[in-house]
Amino acid sequence: MKEEIAIRLTNVSKTFSIRDKSRGNLLQKSAAFVTGKNRREIEAVKNINLEVKKGEFLGIVGANGSGKSTLIHLMTGVYRPDKGGKSEIFGNYIRLSLGLGFNSELTARENIFLNGSVMGVKINELKENFNKIIEFAELQKFIDTKIKYFSRGMRTRLAFAVAVHAEADIFLMDEFFGGVGDERFRARSDEIFAESFVKGRTIVHVSHNLSTIKHYADRVVLLHQGECLGIGSADEIFALYQRTIKVKKLNLRDE
């Protein structure tokens, strides 16, 4: 029996057209704008074919600028693929990213409802779980403090505390979880992540934190300069990743 698919990418590419800053006098800048000489294209993602099974934990790794976040945006429909590509997602989904749905000028209390709404959590559920969210995030003394005064760790704890109460079939996580907070908080979040957050859900996790990917991922995708270099187990892909980094460093020295 064929396994059900949560996400399918077919011949998916994404090219961005950008304008570089023109140099010269006003006439030269105007001419460059009209002729398009200051315009260039960047291939952020190149011909990706991928199926994510329902209930699978898929890790995506790669250096900065390799196309990881662009790929997440293509999965959610924020970006449309170039002509000839097709992105499909089957089920309710939420994209989680540090700071997504937060307003720095609002308090922790206000941001719980704002962030929760962005994630699709119902208001009455947020009201019911408000104290649990605050307690889990360990922010009891900062309920009515604007989060622009929060540390990165405090923001992460708040975002994670809201996320564990969100209901969705598919979670697309962009550098959202792992390695933030003291030992005690990491232990608690790891426990909840493993026992209640991951189970029964489809997770796509983009991260530089390879230990999190290694611990949870069923499969791992390696992106490099927009291309998929490989899909396999964490050990296989991490070894390929290390070889790719070494080759890149050697090329830089040769230049």
Single pTM value for the model: 0.78
Residue in the block written with tokens 């830089």: 252
- pLDDT-derived band at 254 (thresholds 50, 70, 90) equals very low
Q: What's the CATH code of the domain at 222?
A: 3.40.50.300
Say if residue 9 is in the same domain as residue 60: yes
Say if residue 52 is in the same domain as residue 120: no
Percent of the chain with pLDDT over 90: 46
How is the beta sheet containing 170-174 ordered, strand by strand?
93-97, 170-174, 202-206, 57-61, 219-224, 227-232
**Per residue in 147-164, pLDDT tens?**
999 987 788 788 888 887
Instruction: From 69, 77, 122, select the one nearest 96 (Cα to Cα).
Output: 69
Least confident range from 8-12, 155-159, 169-173: namely 155-159
Distance CA 4, CA 48 (A): 20
66 against 178, higher pLDDT: 66
Say if residue 58 is in the same domain as residue 13: yes
Q: What mean pLDDT comes out for the span 3-9? A: 92
* Structural domain contains residue 147: yes
Domain carrying residue 32: 1-92+169-180+199-255
Say if residue 87 is in the same domain as residue 176: yes
Contacts with 113 (C-beta within 8 Å, 6 or more apart), sequence order:
123, 126
Say if residue 27 is in the same domain as residue 85: yes
* pLDDT value of residue 250: 46
Say if residue 37 is in the same domain as residue 148: no
Q: What mean pLDDT comes out for the span 210-224? A: 92
* pLDDT value of residue 234: 95
Distance CA 51, CA 8 (A): 5
Pick from 146, 168, 190: which residue ends a domain?
168
Least confident range from 98-107, 126-135, 224-233: namely 98-107
Distance CA 247, CA 215 (A): 26
Number of domains in the chain: 2
Say if residue 173 is in the same domain as residue 60: yes
Say if residue 84 is in the same domain as residue 204: yes
108 touches 90 (CB < 8 A)? no
Within 10 angstroms of residue 22's Cβ, the number of other Cβ atoms is 15
Say if residue 150 is in the same domain as residue 216: no
* Structural domain contains residue 222: yes
Say if residue 125 is in the same domain as residue 59: no
Report the chain's C-alpha Rg in angstroms: 21
Say if residue 173 is in the same domain as residue 82: yes
Say if residue 153 is in the same domain as residue 246: no
